[in-house]
Structures are given as C-alpha cells and as structure tokens.
A and B are shown apart, each in its own frame.
Chain A
Amino acid sequence: MQNVLQEIGVENYIYLSTILFCIGIFGVLFRRNAIVMFMSIEIMLNAVNLLLVVFSTYHQDASGQVFVFFSMAVAAAEVAVGLAILVGIYRNIHSIDIDKLKNLKG
C-alpha cells in the first residue's frame, strides 16, 4: 500500500477530498431538490471517509479503515431513514422542494 501513496502523493488525496467536500457543501447550499441534497451530503461524508483511509495508510494504522467501515454502515442506515422521511414529505405536499417546507417559520 505504501507505493500507492508514493506514486501519487498524499497531498493529492487531501486536495481531492477537499474538492469533494466543497462540492458537497455547494450542492447542499444551492440545490433545492432534497434528493440531490442528500447525495451532496453523501459526497461530503465520503470525502471524509477517503481522508480517513488515506491517513490510515499513511500512518500504517488499520484502525482508521475500520472506522470508515462503521461510518459507511451508519451512513447507509441514515440514508434509509432520510429517504423514508422524504417519501413521507412527498406524500404530504407532492413535492420534494425544500423551499416549500416553511411551516415552522417564526
């Protein structure tokens, strides 16, 4: 595994995951479709996962990778719950545009 980092360089991984994370943020901020926002959140999550894996390799320590497995499992569960909520919202207002969810405004 050492050679992978040697060939590409650890800083490139960091750039990649930063870019992924920023894409995720902008997706969340500027898209109104709830499913797309969900996907953006997953991108952010996976950017972090990637970083964890990279540092785990860099430090020769497997616990980071174990942690990523947990993180992915939790994310999967979270997606299942989130999608169920979205289905519920769609059934109520026939839309998944989050700008229409303003009933709680002050």
Chain B
Amino acid sequence: METSLLLTLLLAPFAGFLFNVFFGKKVSRNVSGTIGTIAVAISFVISLNFFFQINNTKQPILIDLFQWMKLANFEVNFSFLLDQLSILWLLFVTGIGTLIHIYSISYMHDDENLNKFFAYLNLFIFFMITLVVGSNLLMMFIGWEGVGLCSYLLIGFWYKNQDYNDAAKKAFIMNRIGDLGFLIGIFILASLFNSTDFTTMKEVVASGETINLGWLGFATLCLFIGASGKSAQIPLYTWLPDAMAGPTPVSALIHAATMVTAGIFMITRLNFLFNLTPDVQMIIAVIGAVTSLVAAFIALVQNDIKKVLAYSTVSQLGLMFLALGLGAYEIAVFHVITHAFFKACLFLGSGSVIHALHGEQDMRKMGGLRKYMKVTYITFLIATLAISGIPIFAGFFSKDEILMVAFHENIALYVIASLASIMTAFYMFRLLYLTFFKEFRGTEEQKHHLHESPKLITFPLVVLAILSTIGGFISFPGHSWLNGYLAPIFIGTREEHHLDGTTYMLMGIAVIGALIGIGIAYSNYIKKSQVPNEDSEITGFSKVLYNKFYVDEIYMAVIVKPIYAIASFSKNFIETALSGFVFGLGKVTNIIGTRGKALQNGSVGFYLFAFVLGTASIIAYLFLDHYIRL
C-alpha cells in the first residue's frame, strides 16, 4: 500500500512530463497545463496523506524497491525514506508546486512552447521528490543532478535570447562545481561508513563508534561546497541572480522556494555528521552570515524587480545557513518553510506585475500600480511584511529565531545577520514603494493596458499570502509544534528555548530594526519621491553595489580569463608545435616519395647504369676496405 502510494507520488509528475513531451503539442493548450497541474496535485494529496500518517505514528517509512548495486561489502539500495523531514519538504515542494503550476497556466498561456514548459516543470517536481525521499546519498544525488538539469532547461527556456542561454549555462556550470564537492563528500562518507544510507550512518554515529574525524571533516566540508553551489552561497552564488532570465514561475518555484533549499535539506539530513565537525559548522555559519550581508548590500540598489528578489533570496538562504552552522537545524527548516511561502508569493506577485506591464522589469518604469492591481498589491504587501520581519507574519518568527540563536552563540554573527535583516526591510519596502506607490512612470500605452491579472494568477497569490501570514505559527516561540515534530531526525534531545527577558528584548530590537529600514525607505521613496538614477548617473559606493561588487568581473578576470589564456596558449603554441612535428613527418615522407618516384622512370638503360654503378661501388668499397685495413 505504502509502496504503491509512494510510487504514485513519485511517478505522477513523471507521467505528466511524458504526456506533455509526447502529446503536449497535440492537445489544446489548457489541457496540457491542466494535466501538468493535476499530476503535481496528485503528489500533493498523497504527501498530505503521508504527513498525517507520520504525524500520528511518528514512525518513519522505509520503502526498499530493489538492490541497486553491490560492491564487495558496500551496497546501495534503490529505496526511499519517508520521515518527518522528507515529508515536510514533500509538502511544500508539491504544495507550492501545485500553486505555481496553476499560476503558470495563465502566465505562460501565450507562449508557443507551453507544453514544453509544463513538461520541464513536472520533470523538476519528479526530481525534487527523488532528491527529498531518497534514502541514501546516491539516491539524493540522482535528484540533485536532475533538478540541476531542469533548472538549466527552465532558465534557458526562452532559448532564442543568447543572454538567457548564457545564464542557463552559468547556473549549470556553477552547480557542477558544487556537485563535484558533493560527489567527493559522498565517496569519502561511503569509505568511512561502508554505506551511504542515512539510517545506517545515523546508527553508526549514535552508537558512538569512533570515526576518523579528519576525513569526516573533509567530507562535510565537501558536502557544504555542494550545498553552497545548489543553495547559492559565497563563492558560488552568482548564478542565482542571473537565473532570473527564466520565466517568473520558474524563479518562484525553483530559484526561491524549492531547489535552492536542497542544500539546506541535505545538511539537515546529515545533521549528525555536521555536529561532529564544529570547525566546518563554523565555516558554514560565517559563510552564511557573510552571504546574507553581501547579498543584502547588492539588493539595496538593484532596479530590476526580479534581481532584487533574487538577491533577497540569496540573503535569506545565507540566514538559513547561519542557522545550520550554529546547529539550529529545525530553525533553518522553519525559515525554509516560511521563506518558501513569502518568497514564492513575492515572485509570483512580481510576475503578475511584469505580466500587466508586458514584460517590463525595471522598477523605475513602474509605480502607482496599487490602484490598478488591488489583489496583487495586497498579497505583495503581506509577503513584504513577512520577509521584513513584522510581527504575526511568518518571516518574523523564523528570522527572529535565527537571530536569537546567533545572539546566544556568536555576537558578531548576530550583528551581521541583524544588519542584513534591517537592509532586507529597507530594500523590500523600496521595491514595494517604487512598484505600487506614487504615479505610474511607464509609457501611456502601458498605462492604458494596466489591469489586474486573471483569477488563475491571483488565486495562488492569495493562498500564499494567507500562508505567509499564518505560516509562522507552526513554530510559535515557546510552543513550537515544528521542533517537536522534527525531533526524531536528530540524535539526542534538544533543548527548548525559554521565553525570557532576553528573548523579548531581541524581538523588540529586530522589530525596531525592521521599522527603521522601512522608515528609511518611506522617507526616501514616499516623502522625497526619489526614483533611482539612470544607470549612467550611478556613482560612488552605490555604483560598486549596483555592479554587484564586481564579483562577476572578478571571477572573469581571476578564473575564466586565465583558463582562456591557457586554452589559447595550448592552441597557439603547444598544438602548433605538436601538429607541426606530425605534419612535418608526413611532409618529409611525401617529398621523399615524390622525388624518389623519378628514379622509377622505366628506362632499362638507366636501371642497368645504376646497377653497374652500384656493383662497382660495392667492389671498390670492399677493395679499399681490404687495403686500408692492411
């Protein structure tokens, strides 16, 4: 029963993919989208069913399909593990996935390759489910690579634009760098534990068996490199902002809510290993904090609505990694969930705006949309409040918990994370004010066409806005349902936070910080009615920020250019020399042949002459030799 349910859960999106690939062009556009949506909805319903079952029994379900490979005493099974963590991920992957599929039916309605779009989306969901429910690292790796592939396909979905193709390639290559780390980590773990199975590894760790901590530390560091590729952390984060080249639903689904959280999922899955290597945890925490600050800085001055959201995603992911590094896995998971709600809502809202403006993404040409797009505005406002950390909205609880952990563990990281949160509040309200307030700054023609988006677009927005509002209550401070729910995936008992004076003080500081950020945004963009400068007029530090700290340029100069230089050196010198030698051999042979051909001129007289001369020479030589020797 459970096996067939799980297989349905897994294969429904795959069936949707196959249908849309092979028959998508033959059926009408709506059918194609509807089937894609239903496929994911089926998965969601089954996930819900599993969720209630697990929530009651508290027993993880292990489904072993068959043995995949066996090498000496190392074996890998093709099996799935449904426990508290994977089901949580399943719920929001398939749940938000369903909403975004619904949204896409309308958003992509006029695209000529609609069926391909839904095929890719379904394939993505399929791989994401594989990643989440795989019971060992290799199964996870299948999904890991698969979502990378789908991400590539969807970023480059509008393949006629070369810039989009470049963005897709960039994402793929950056991910590959991380994947290499992940693979090396898997190999080391396989040799340390003789297994890549999560349950087995956890048992080994729990039994207190001695493990080579040096190698384990190296393995966890490699795994973190893999995670930082997938989840866009320094130094591999630059692909995520460029990934906004894809259609907006893709940005919402893959590059905000689901795929980019795969790194966090993996580290949470292997929490028992990371707990053994505090040095690596420290690296994770520092990188997370720095990423969140750097990305927040860059987001301050971006003018592309999706770019702001992309950097905000990087920044929020950085906060999650900070929590992971501090060992607060359940808080990271909590922030993943709330972030999935409000960031999906924000992206879909920005998609709704872009849709209304026929593809315009520059906030300097927006403004005043509040009057024309009521539903989008309200949902966007709610999600913005949530991400800024205003109380009762979901983001407040999760972000506050991260800050609280940071405060208790490491005050420097707390300051960095708080700064990042304040900046988050600022740039999100800057985005909100520039987009929805004041007067419309676009062309007259655009103004004429301004309209609220269709129901299929606004419905997911409303659902996500509601979730962004109430989502925080799953881990209410002091009475956390989530912490209790997730407890079985950790080793040992975890202390519960107590509400005390410090907690309330930190909450107060966080809220005041957010309000300061909002206040600055208000005074700049509402009171003073500022509009960001044209590209050419940006100067000073904001120019550095606007150009994203020139990180792309630095990577270009430090990594890409030298590789090109080596390549052109090899091509121009080494290859020229080698091929010159090889071709030279051929040429010499050819010349000898051509010249030598003249000897075979067919004249018997000449042959005889050569023959006599040769014989005479031999005899002369023998005589001379003989007499000289004497």
Interface residue ranges, A against B (CB under 8 Å): 25, 28-29, 32, 98-99, 101-106
The 8 Å CB contact of B602, one of A25, A32, A102, is A102
Q: 1/0 per position for B592-607, CB-CB distance to A under 8 A?
A: 0000011111111100
Beta-carbon contact of B597 and A106 below 8 Å? yes
List 9 A–B pairs whose Cβ atoms lie within 8 Å, in order of A's numbering.
A29-B605, A29-B609, A98-B604, A101-B604, A104-B600, A105-B601, A106-B598, A106-B599, A106-B602
B612: Cβ under 8 A from any A Cβ: yes
CB closest residue in chain B, given A28: B608
Q: 1/0 per position for B604-620, CB-CB distance to A under 8 A?
A: 11001100100000000
Q: How far is the CB of B600 from chain A (nearest CB, A)?
A: 3
The 8 Å CB contact of A106, one of B600, B605, B608, B609, is B600
Q: How far is the CB of A69 from chain B (nearest CB, A)?
A: 26
Beta-carbon contact of B601 and A99 below 8 Å? no
Task: Specify the main secondary structure of chain A where it touches its partner.
Answer: loop
Beta-carbon contact of A102 and B601 below 8 Å? yes
- Residues of the B chain whose Cβ atoms lie less than 8 Å from the Cβ of A104: 600, 602
Given contacts A29-B605, A98-B604, A105-B603, 7 further A-B contacts (CB under 8 A): A28-B608, A29-B612, A102-B602, A103-B602, A105-B602, A106-B600, A106-B601
Beta-carbon contact of B612 and A102 below 8 Å? no
Q: How far is the CB of B22 from chain A (nearest CB, A)?
A: 63
- Residues of the B chain whose Cβ atoms lie less than 8 Å from the Cβ of A32: 605
A105 to B597, CA, bound (A): 9
A81 to B421, CA, bound (A): 112
- Residues of the A chain whose Cβ atoms lie less than 8 Å from the Cβ of B599: 106
The 8 Å CB contact of B605, one of A25, A98, A103, A105, is A98
Q: How far is the CB of B171 from chain A (nearest CB, A)?
A: 63
Beta-carbon contact of B602 and A101 below 8 Å? yes
Beta-carbon contact of B604 and A25 below 8 Å? no
A98 to B579, CA, bound (A): 47
Beta-carbon contact of A99 and B605 below 8 Å? yes
- Residues of the B chain whose Cβ atoms lie less than 8 Å from the Cβ of A29: 605, 608-609, 612
- Residues of the A chain whose Cβ atoms lie less than 8 Å from the Cβ of B609: 29
- Residues of the A chain whose Cβ atoms lie less than 8 Å from the Cβ of B612: 25, 28-29
Contacts A29-B609, A29-B612 known; A105 to B604 CB distance under 8 Å?
no
- Residues of the B chain whose Cβ atoms lie less than 8 Å from the Cβ of A99: 603-605
Q: How far is the CB of B378 from chain A (nearest CB, A)?
A: 94
A104 to B600, CA, bound (A): 8
- Residues of the A chain whose Cβ atoms lie less than 8 Å from the Cβ of B597: 106
- Residues of the B chain whose Cβ atoms lie less than 8 Å from the Cβ of A28: 608, 612
- Residues of the B chain whose Cβ atoms lie less than 8 Å from the Cβ of A106: 597-602
A98 to B599, CA, bound (A): 17
CB closest residue in chain B, given A103: B602
A99 to B599, CA, bound (A): 15
Q: How far is the CB of B590 from chain A (nearest CB, A)?
A: 15
Q: How far is the CB of B596 from chain A (nearest CB, A)?
A: 8
Residue of B600, B602, B612 with most chain A CB atoms under a 10 A cut-off: B602
A98 to B601, CA, bound (A): 13
- Residues of the B chain whose Cβ atoms lie less than 8 Å from the Cβ of A101: 602, 604
A46 to B601, CA, bound (A): 31
A29 to B602, CA, bound (A): 15
Q: How far is the CB of B607 from chain A (nearest CB, A)?
A: 10
Q: Which 9 residue pairs across A and B have the least CB separation, nearest first?
A: A105-B602, A106-B600, A102-B602, A98-B604, A106-B597, A105-B601, A104-B602, A29-B609, A28-B608
A28 to B607, CA, bound (A): 11
Q: How far is the CB of A70 from chain B (nearest CB, A)?
A: 23
A14 to B600, CA, bound (A): 36
A28 to B602, CA, bound (A): 16
A35 to B597, CA, bound (A): 29
A40 to B600, CA, bound (A): 24
A29 to B605, CA, bound (A): 6
A25 to B605, CA, bound (A): 11
CB closest residue in chain A, given B613: A29
CB closest residue in chain B, given A25: B612
A69 to B252, CA, bound (A): 111
A102 to B604, CA, bound (A): 8
A69 to B403, CA, bound (A): 122
Beta-carbon contact of B608 and A105 below 8 Å? no
Q: How far is the CB of B308 from chain A (nearest CB, A)?
A: 79
CB closest residue in chain B, given A105: B602
Q: How far is the CB of A61 from chain B (nearest CB, A)?
A: 25
A26 to B470, CA, bound (A): 119
- Residues of the A chain whose Cβ atoms lie less than 8 Å from the Cβ of B608: 28-29
CB closest residue in chain B, given A101: B604
Q: How far is the CB of A71 from chain B (nearest CB, A)?
A: 19
- Residues of the B chain whose Cβ atoms lie less than 8 Å from the Cβ of A98: 604-605
- Residues of the B chain whose Cβ atoms lie less than 8 Å from the Cβ of A103: 602
Q: How far is the CB of B546 from chain A (nearest CB, A)?
A: 75
Q: 1/0 per position for B347-387, CB-CB distance to A under 8 A?
A: 00000000000000000000000000000000000000000
- Residues of the A chain whose Cβ atoms lie less than 8 Å from the Cβ of B598: 106
